[in-house]
A and B are shown apart, each in its own frame.
Chain A
Amino acid sequence: MDAFYAAIEQRDRPELRGKPVIIGGSGPRQVVSTASYEARKFGVHSAMPGVRAKQLCPQGIFVVPRMEVYAAVSAQVRAVFDQFTDSVEPLSLDEAFLDVTGSRALFGDGATIAARIKREVKAATGLTVSVGVATSKYVAKVASDLRKPDGLVVVPPGQEREFLAPLPVSRLWGVGPTTQRQLEHAGLRGIADVQSRSEAQLVAAFGNSLGPHLFVLANGLDPREVESDRAARSIGHELTFARDLRDRDEVLGVLLQLAQQVGRRLRQANVRGTVVRLKLRYPDFTTFVRQRKVAPTADDLELHRTASELLDAAWDRRTGVRLLGVTAAGLVDESTPVQGGLFAPAVQKRDQLLKAMDRIRDRHGEGAVRHGVEARRSNPWGPDS
């Protein structure tokens, strides 16, 4: 999706259209989560400190994110994807890989499907999406980024190398500023330079890990399959905070939102998790992962309960929390029989209730129906006071 959060705000608030919109706060510890294309002209980009964004673009309009709205729109977009293939691998709320290999007989070739997806997303949400079509995930991703916004770039089979050749090495996955300097030092500025080296040369120059990685990507040989939700081994969400969270209630509130996102995706994929995993990162970047086996569940509140118990066991509360993640793993199909609980409501009844809630949210937005425990939670993305 193109400048997803900002585009939604501009869609919903006409007075923001054509203006530099920055999603996130301008406070000292806040970061930009998305900038509209108008704001990007000033050099504002995501993950930039809010203070810096304010300096670059004083007239920028800072907007507090409405995650539940973005998640609802994301679900609408996902529903469009699902019409074309059952192999969808979401990367985030606004990015996904689709494997349409098996859908071509029904809908036409990749370019045709891409054009239809763009039309239908626009019709469903009023938003534009940029699409890349290629034989591998990496090339498709690069193609989708090339003509944003509202782009459609098709890389025909066999032309991956030609397509990648003119691009700078920074377009290679995993090549950040440090690696880029390393590559430039070795005389590699563009992807074409990398293509001119053999795998053995790259291994000799950059080691057993980075060498083969560069070779595979630069030559468009990325072999990874699209891992659809259904086949995925886990479904998870995580969130980094603009300011470290210290208040337990606030942290539990975030866990609930994460648990709901995970639960929602489990139900969309018709699977249940048998392992709940909590990821916890402190301000000094030490990271803990704790997990526990559970009876198969796609229930937001079950996920939240287990994640909360894991949190209480792991978090000493002396330091703030920088990042939280909730993941459901050990996925099983929802038709797998389940050992019932004596003191728990029947799983099937709970399923019906949650799926009914999902349908209401699909139609009326994420906030339309909530669990009772949510009402008193504050919004952790709110501006610093």
Chain B
Amino acid sequence: MKILCDRTALQEAVTVVSSVVPAKSTKPILMNLLLRADGEGITLFATDLEMAASVHLDSVKVSKPGVMLLPARETAALLRELSDPTVTLESMDQRCRIESGGGSFVLLGEDPEQYPAEAQVRSGKRIEIPAGRMLGMTQETVFAAAREETRYAINGVLMDAAAGCVRLVATDGRRLAISYENVDTKNEFKVVVPLRALTTLARALPENSKDPLAIEVGDKQIVFTTPRMKLVSQLLETRFPDYEGVLPKAADTTVEIQRAVLEGALRRASILCSAELRMVRFEVGDQSLRMTAESSTRGRADIVVDAVVRGAGGSINFNPDYILEALRQCHLDQVRLDMSDDSMPAKFTLGESFTYVVMPISGA
């Protein structure tokens, strides 16, 4: 096998595929990625047996077709460090010679025949959405998924397709993010996708792309396909909590505020939260929002900003980090907060199809 290709394009492809490669494995062969060169270009493939990714590159000159295994980590690192715009890869037995500016290198691979083959997915329900939109929905939700050891650490995100709408929902039990997109299909499914599959997907999807992303849900697997890339992942069998039940239906008070103003105020206030309990108090006044924080050992913050207020007013306490993490994914100039009391979830509207629900801190 011998190929000549654009180094940056190859590096990007290797990076995407490598994110599937496990850091450690009892099966050392899984530390490799598979490179196949044929008349249509090259395909990179890697799997950890739970998830598999493949990326296709066609702007490649294939002088000799073939298959080889490359050590994933070293290949990715090397491609990053080389200086020429192009790179040549040539295989001899199970070794791969890489020529580019900066030197010549030999990587020791393994027998490609021993590498697990791509699993055949039994066809399931299919929907299509623009790739850029899927990226946006993923970014708007994954941050809210639990990573620590809690009861809701399901390490997954719900994908709920129903009534011409596909929603991603992520929660850690204290806050919950929902992002949705209307789709032209009657297919319905409700599955929990591993967090890792979505973060890998997000890394592979271009921003603002209108290219279609096909999502196919089978019995135990989900497949994401773009013209260049395919990602297959096992689905989680975890039960996802009843998210629709916690969406507030009504609110006593509505506050509309500039996103940048809210974000700046919260960042300043959060500096002086107590270390044991990160808490900022929101007091809704007459067309204003006051945010205060206090640490018994370090000091206090008191910030008043303009806001459009409707309803009863009142006060409520939040963990500022929860709100700041969500605001980072918000592209609106103006955000809206619907709140009641500290026993009820509060709702932030952070985009046309991006809703965020946060449980307040009670008993303060």
Interface residues of A (CB under 8 A from B): 292-293, 305, 332, 335-344, 346-349
Q: Judge whether B363 and A337 touch: CB under 8 Å.
A: yes
Q: Which of B175, B176, B276 has the most CB of A within 10 A?
A: B276
CB distance from A352 to the nearest CB of B (A): 12
CB distance from B76 to the nearest CB of A (A): 35
Q: Judge whether B175 and A342 touch: CB under 8 Å.
A: yes
For window 341-364 of B, CB contacts with A under 8 Å fall at 342-343, 345, 357, 359-364
CA distance A43 to B74 in the complex (A): 75
Q: Judge whether B364 and A339 touch: CB under 8 Å.
A: no
* Contact residue among B152, B279, B317 (Cβ-Cβ distance under 8 Å from A343): B152
Q: Interface SS of chain B: helix, strand, loop or mixed?
A: loop
Q: Judge whether B362 and A340 touch: CB under 8 Å.
A: yes
Q: Judge whether A341 and B359 touch: CB under 8 Å.
A: yes
Q: Judge whether B279 and A342 touch: CB under 8 Å.
A: no
Nearest chain-B residue to A349 (Cβ)?
B343
Q: Could you say which residues of chain A place their CB within 8 Å of the CB of B357?
A: 342
CA distance A336 to B359 in the complex (A): 16
A-B pairs with beta carbons under 8 A, tally: 57
CA distance A344 to B279 in the complex (A): 20
B319 at the interface (CB under 8 A from A): yes
Given the known interface contacts A336-B277, A341-B173, the answer about A347 and B242 at a Cβ–Cβ threshold of 8 Å is no
Q: Could you say which residues of chain A place their CB within 8 Å of the CB of B241?
A: 342-343
Q: Could you say which residues of chain A place their CB within 8 Å of the CB of B319?
A: 339
Q: Judge whether A338 and B345 touch: CB under 8 Å.
A: no
* Contact residue among A305, A332, A337, A342 (Cβ-Cβ distance under 8 Å from B171): A342
Besides A339-B359, A346-B343, 4 new A-B residue pairs in contact (Cβ under 8 A), listed by A number: A339-B361, A340-B360, A340-B361, A342-B176
CA distance A342 to B279 in the complex (A): 17
Q: Judge whether A344 and B343 touch: CB under 8 Å.
A: no
B141-181 to A contact mask, C-beta < 8 Å, 1/0 = 00000000101100000000000000000010111100000
Q: Could you say which residues of chain B place their CB within 8 Å of the CB of A341?
A: 173-174, 359
* Contact residue among B149, B246, B276, B363 (Cβ-Cβ distance under 8 Å from A342): B246
Listed by A's residue number, 19 A-B pairs whose Cβ atoms lie within 8 Å are A305-B151, A336-B276, A336-B277, A337-B277, A337-B361, A337-B362, A337-B364, A338-B361, A338-B363, A340-B342, A340-B343, A340-B360, A340-B362, A341-B359, A342-B174, A343-B152, A346-B362, A347-B362, A348-B343
CA distance A292 to B276 in the complex (A): 17
Q: Could you say which residues of chain B place their CB within 8 Å of the CB of A344?
A: 173
B273-300 to A contact mask, C-beta < 8 Å, 1/0 = 0001101000000000000000000000
For window 316-331 of B, CB contacts with A under 8 Å fall at 317, 319
Q: Judge whether B246 and A348 touch: CB under 8 Å.
A: no
CA distance A305 to B150 in the complex (A): 11
Nearest chain-A residue to B149 (Cβ)?
A292
Nearest chain-A residue to B322 (Cβ)?
A339
Q: Could you say which residues of chain A place their CB within 8 Å of the CB of B171?
A: 342
CB distance from B151 to the nearest CB of A (A): 8
CA distance A347 to B152 in the complex (A): 17
Given the known interface contacts A340-B342, A340-B343, the answer about A348 and B363 at a Cβ–Cβ threshold of 8 Å is yes
Q: Could you say which residues of chain B place their CB within 8 Å of the CB of A340?
A: 174, 342-343, 359-362
Given the known interface contacts A340-B342, A342-B345, the answer about A348 and B174 at a Cβ–Cβ threshold of 8 Å is no
CB distance from B342 to the nearest CB of A (A): 7
CB distance from A305 to the nearest CB of B (A): 8
Nearest chain-B residue to A347 (Cβ)?
B362
Q: Judge whether B175 and A338 touch: CB under 8 Å.
A: no
CA distance A335 to B362 in the complex (A): 10
The 9 A-B pairs at the shortest CB distance, nearest first, are namely A337-B364, A340-B359, A346-B343, A342-B246, A337-B363, A343-B241, A337-B361, A342-B359, A340-B362
CB distance from B346 to the nearest CB of A (A): 10
Q: Judge whether A336 and B173 touch: CB under 8 Å.
A: no
Given the known interface contacts A337-B277, A340-B342, the answer about A347 and B363 at a Cβ–Cβ threshold of 8 Å is yes
CA distance A292 to B150 in the complex (A): 9
Q: Which of A335, A346, A349 has the most CB of B within 10 A?
A: A346
Q: Could you say which residues of chain A place their CB within 8 Å of the CB of B360?
A: 340
CA distance A340 to B346 in the complex (A): 11
* Contact residue among A293, A338, A343 (Cβ-Cβ distance under 8 Å from B362): A338
Nearest chain-A residue to B345 (Cβ)?
A342
CA distance A338 to B318 in the complex (A): 10
Q: Could you say which residues of chain A place their CB within 8 Å of the CB of B317?
A: 337
Q: Could you say which residues of chain A place their CB within 8 Å of the CB of B175?
A: 342
CA distance A336 to B296 in the complex (A): 13
CB distance from B357 to the nearest CB of A (A): 7
Q: Which of A292, A341, A342 has the most CB of B within 10 A?
A: A342
Q: Could you say which residues of chain B place their CB within 8 Å of the CB of A336?
A: 276-277, 363
CA distance A341 to B152 in the complex (A): 10
CB distance from B149 to the nearest CB of A (A): 6
Q: Judge whether A342 and B343 touch: CB under 8 Å.
A: no
CB distance from B296 to the nearest CB of A (A): 12
Q: Judge whether A343 and B343 touch: CB under 8 Å.
A: no
CA distance A346 to B359 in the complex (A): 10
CA distance A188 to B171 in the complex (A): 66
For window 99-128 of B, CB contacts with A under 8 Å fall at none
CA distance A292 to B242 in the complex (A): 25
Q: Could you say which residues of chain A place their CB within 8 Å of the CB of B242?
A: 343
Q: Judge whether A335 and B363 touch: CB under 8 Å.
A: yes
For window 35-66 of B, CB contacts with A under 8 Å fall at none
Nearest chain-B residue to A330 (Cβ)?
B276
Q: Judge whether B246 and A343 touch: CB under 8 Å.
A: yes
Q: Which of A292, A335, A341, A348 has the most CB of B within 10 A?
A: A341
CA distance A332 to B152 in the complex (A): 23
CB distance from B304 to the nearest CB of A (A): 22
Q: Could you say which residues of chain A place their CB within 8 Å of the CB of B174?
A: 339-342
CB distance from B317 to the nearest CB of A (A): 7
Q: Judge whether A342 and B173 touch: CB under 8 Å.
A: yes
Q: Could you say which residues of chain A place their CB within 8 Å of the CB of B277?
A: 336-337, 339
CB distance from B148 to the nearest CB of A (A): 8
CB distance from B153 to the nearest CB of A (A): 11
CA distance A238 to B318 in the complex (A): 37
Given the known interface contacts A342-B357, A343-B242, the answer about A348 and B362 at a Cβ–Cβ threshold of 8 Å is yes
CA distance A339 to B173 in the complex (A): 10
B175-219 to A contact mask, C-beta < 8 Å, 1/0 = 110000000000000000000000000000000000000000000
CB distance from A236 to the nearest CB of B (A): 21
Nearest chain-B residue to A346 (Cβ)?
B343
Nearest chain-A residue to B281 (Cβ)?
A337
Nearest chain-A residue to B357 (Cβ)?
A342
